[in-house]
Chain A
Amino acid sequence: MIKAVLVLNTEGKPRLAKFYQFQSVEKQHEAIRNVFSVLCCRPEHVSNFVDAESFFGPDSRLVYKHFATLYFMFIFDSSENELAMLDLIQVFVETLDKCFRNVCELDIVFNYSKMHTILDEIILGGQVLETSSNEVMKAIEEISRLESASNAINLVPKSVSGWRSR
């Protein structure tokens, strides 16, 4: 089970914070600060796996990847594999890159709802739903097509036909 997904920039400002286990808001902020204080002074040549028991309770591990000005990190328990989580970060970043065309931190700041939609297509309730970047892109395009349908009468047949064709 994945416990949390965090995206921080190199100054420690959270750009995405999604927790799949309940924690109070104070604990969430404290966890984000602790995670950043560990990651910012971590050298590049060590492995990307951190023991996260001091932030997220027992049986927690953290996998992070550093892209440009952002840290992408997943916190999970022992039922997930570290290398699989590392690959899932890559899938997530590739999907963002396809969606925004040369994604940078500014795209993430101004399109946070689309980033949440992409993350919900990949992970839901702490479980991994989809590991293919193309399938996620198809779903995102369908969702954006439904959103752009301004006529309320056209919305219902499209959603019904979309549901039947799946």
Chain B
Amino acid sequence: MSIEDNGGLRVLAINILGRFLSNCDNNIRFISFSFITLMVATWIGQNQKIRLMVVEINLRGDGAERLRERGRAKAPE
């Protein structure tokens, strides 16, 4: 998160986290969703234009709670 780099590695990181997000394991989805919300909050503040495709996941338990805590992270255009 603290690595200052060009957009290529960031896009790669987002793609990898998106692939983790489509995993069927609840633990892996929870970790990847936490990192994605952290990345969105960090990089949108730097006026980065990121198109983020968040697959529709069935938020249950910890995912929904964490999403409510951090506020709805919308995909920027």
Question: Residues on A close to B: CB < 8 A?
Answer: 43, 45-49, 82-83, 86
Contacts and interface: CB of A to CB of B under 8 A. Distances in A.
A45 B61 contact: yes
Q: How large is the interface on B (under 10, 10 to 19, 20 to 34, 35 or more residues)?
A: 10 to 19
10 contacts: A45-B61, A46-B60, A46-B61, A46-B62, A47-B27, A47-B29, A49-B27, A82-B30, A83-B28, A83-B31
Interface string B14-39: 00000000000011111100000000
Contacts of B30: 47, 49, 82
Interface of B: 26-31, 60-63
Contact of A82 (B27, B60, B61): B27
A48 B26 CA distance: 8
Contacts of A46: 26, 60-62
